[in-house]
Homo-oligomer: A and B are copies of this chain.
């Protein structure tokens, strides 16, 4: 069952109400939002047009009342289909004043200090010259994490959408034996796997990574090469596909023929680490606790040469990664409604990586897996 597209207006009103409550506590007159995900969170404005860097898009969420869109006229028709009624436009690009005067006037009309995301994972998607003008016209300061905090807690409707994306990816992963095997170039596997994701219902496939190697892969962010798969190779594919604006982010590991025993042991260790992470990922636990629960397993794994230097999971939702990080320094408390990935990684003797990842929602009763069940051994291809 795929959930209906979009959200009820009540969902957006609830988001705005929570933002306004937090803004009151922070003494903010409005929020200024500039990125795709932040705009979409409050409006439902969903388009791939953000791929073009030419035009800035602004949303002003005032301390009282409904949000105000300050956007290029090319977006007026689509914004008009959302619940937003106050839509102010200019003809962009305007080389002398690309919406800045209109934005400043709107912010001054709303009044008060303006909060905008300042912290980790955020940026202002607008030219620095325009940002400087805005800072001369109004007081712009950190939103104190209000938007990131709201987005971290998913509604049931959001969880349904992420779950639907997970199901699509799960069906694509199950079909990998159709497209991968000895002699097939990794670049061809990447191309065909994206095709499988589309066939299984993805709207588009913003992210695909992977790696190949007998004793793990040497890197998990490189583009695919034309190197053909060989007997004994472990193949990892990690996708973040989109359906109705929400991501999944998990991977699956395969083996061409029979795996090296060290790779098989490493894979078993990763599954055990993921189980430990799931058990630890309860409401009230800290992100660091979940990290340590997984790290304790992989640090003692048979044949594990080293642990992954990065994080062992993260939040997930409208973006491929968002919110908390499973690292020793992140003291964020897990709360019901968070959606996270558990992503333990190890290095095998020889230095190759092995990574496993699944997706979970934090329920009051504990972490519930929303990516399909993983196979207990490396899947043969």
Contact = CB atoms under 8 A, between A and B. Distances in A.
A118 B129 contact: yes
Contacts of A336: none
A18 interface: no
Number of copies: 2
A74 B209 contact: no
Nearest to A205: B204
A128 B120 contact: no
B124 A128 contact: yes
Interface in A114-147: 116-129, 142
A330 B95 contact: yes
A196 to B, nearest CB: 9
A191 interface: yes
B93 A53 contact: no
Contact of A322 (B48, B53, B118, B330): B53
Given A221-B74, A222-B47, A54 B95 contact: no
Interface stretch (A104-112, A313-321, A369-377): A313-321
Contacts of A330: 95
A118 B220 CA distance: 33
Contacts of A116: 128
Interface of A: 37, 46-49, 51-54, 73-75, 77-78, 81, 91-96, 98, 116-129, 142, 187, 190-192, 194-195, 198-199, 201-209, 218-223, 240, 309-311, 314, 319-322, 325, 327, 329-330
